[in-house]
Amino acid sequence: MAKDLVCDMDVDEKTAKWKTAYQGKTYYFCAPGCKKQFEVNPQKYIGDSSTGHPHGCGCGGH
């Protein structure tokens, strides 16, 4: 399992519909909104993954 860095949900890499590559690593997401938010500012999530969940991504994580 991978961790969606935007909303902190667990995502199965084998079945994940939304993923993106950044700096040679693949990141997986539970919803397209989480993927989009990550792609706008990846360092926000990679630099400190404990910053919390920005509501409104549409993932239903909280």
Walking along the chain (62 residues) 10 residues at a time, the average pLDDT comes out as 96 97 96 97 76 52 50
Spatial distance between the Cα atoms of 6 and 60, rounded to a whole number of angstroms? 12
Confidence (pLDDT) at 30: 97
Q: Which pLDDT score is estimated for 6?
A: 96
Q: How far is CA 55 from the centre of its chain?
A: 13
| Distant-in-sequence, close-in-space partners of 59: CB < 8 Å, separation ≥ 6 | 4, 6, 7, 9, 29, 30, 31, 33, 34
Angle at 16 between CA 14 and CA 18, to 5 degrees: 145
pLDDT, position 25: 95
**Cα-trace Rg, the chain:** 10
